Amino acid sequence: MSQTLLLRPSVPEPPAGDLPWYRAFAAFRTNAIAAWPAEAYELEFQSRRLVGRHRLLVNSAAAIRHVLVDNHANYRRTPATFRILRPIIGNGLFLSTGEDWKHQRRTVAPAFAPRTIPVIARHVATAAAEAVTALSADAGGPIDLFAAIQHLALEIAGRSMFSLETRRHGAELRSRLMRYGRGLGRPYVLDLLLPLSIPSPRDLPRALFRPGWMRLIDRLIAERRRLPTEEAPRDLLDLLAAARDPETGATFSATQLRDQVATMLVAGHETTAVTLFWSLYLLAAAPAEQEKVAAEVAGLELGPEAAAETLPKLVQTRAVVSEALRLYPPAFVMVREAIGADTVGGVPITPGTLVMITPWVLHRHRRLWRDPDAFDPSRFLPGAPPIDRFAYLPFGAGPRVCVGAQFALTEATLVLATLVQNFRLTVETTRPVLPVGVITTQPDHSPPFTLTPR
């Protein structure tokens, strides 16, 4: 495709230089992706001191590999990560450390093996077909598609995890998730500065939120366990409840199982919803790319019994999802705190240094990508030039890579294929949708879509 025809979606204008500390902290609370200066997209390393601490932004693929793989034990999650996320996801795989993390990783891994994809694909296809029926009732008129996709992602999460529709608990789940994300999930200055041993002013309301949220997860698990037993696993809860540590034979305790469920429910719902929104928005803004997907999915069987078998045929659709993840990575920043001294790409690291790997910047870096701001799914098609593994990090890398990455890609690809197979999508506004990075990469507003039946 000619470079002049590629869509280049609007993004916040980067500042000309480093923001002063008070504006940098404000940006991390309101829109972190607008905090990175223009030079960050050109340099391999950008170093500065922020309120007395050394901060190093890393855009070198070799250096990223060093931090996330070769010397990963020297880099831990920051206190702010724990204080913001632990109240809503507990001490599951994402936040566990040391031997506890190794046990959880060994135990969880088989539940997310490729052989379990058909279990998830069936739930995704069922929920997607029901969403098509619901959306068809509003076809032809303006639709808040982002809200519809958020509901669908939560429905898929509920079915994939519990084999349960979310009609009974969906409103409460959405309400609690939105309340936390819009308020308590936003980092404040003291969240970023204080050690975990000293509570920040937001820690008390987060602690008050946690019991009610975890009781809701416990109720969902209890309701699911009242269903009749089946021989074959029918959802993630079956897989996790039966999982055993291959070294010790230990299974998850009730608390550990609940924390795994909370982690996967929160992470899976939110990241998939924004990935699907951006994929749909990009296709609506680039009709030629949308028609390529439509041609691919025309006539394919995407129902519950055939979804897993059809999935490998969705090459163009998967490429759109991959490109949306490049342009709008849900996890827009990864921050690690150095435990001991190190050298990263020739840069000396002292204990306490904050090493920042920012997929938002990395995926748009001028030296790593051709025409980095353009929407070009062909980057991810067979035969395209290979992409450096450590220049593309929508799900992280190394031992801490997201264990549910393949499930997330399965869900986003199948839903996108189903929607484009049934509807032609257009955006009914000329106002650009700008990305906002707080917890995930959200749209700054939900534009009206029109869905025209194909």
Could you tell me whether strands 354-357 and 53-58 are parallel, antiparallel, or unpaired per DSSP bridges? Answer: parallel
Write out pLDDT tens, residues 224-234: 888 888 777 78
Q: What is the pLDDT of residues 410-434, one digit of tens each?
A: 999 999 999 999 999 999 888 999 9
- The residues facing 424 across adjacent strands are 452
DSSP assignment of 226-240, as one string?
Answer: TSPP-SS--SHHHHH
How far apart (Å, rounded) are the C-alpha atoms in residues 67 and 35? 23
Tell whether the model's pLDDT for residue 51 goes beyond 80: no
Name the pTM for this structure.
Answer: 0.94
pLDDT of 4 > 70? The answer is no
Query: How far lies 21's CA from each of 45, 57, 189, 400, in Å?
Result: 19, 16, 10, 30
Locate the DSSP E strands across 216-357. 334-338, 342-344, 347-349, 354-357
Determine the Cα–Cα distance for residues 392 and 335; give it in Å rounded to an integer: 16
| H/E stretch holding 77 | strand 75-77
In the chain, % of residues over pLDDT 70: 99
Q: Two tokens at 384?
A: 């395209």
Catalytic residues, by residue number, are: 271, 395, 402
Query: pLDDT for 123-177, tens place per residue?
Result: 999 999 999 999 998 887 899 999 999 999 999 998 888 888 777 888 899 899 9
Do the beta carbons of residue 328 and residue 435 sit within 8 Å? yes
Distance CA 110, CA 306 (A): 23
Euclidean distance between CA atoms 316 and 59, whole angstroms: 28
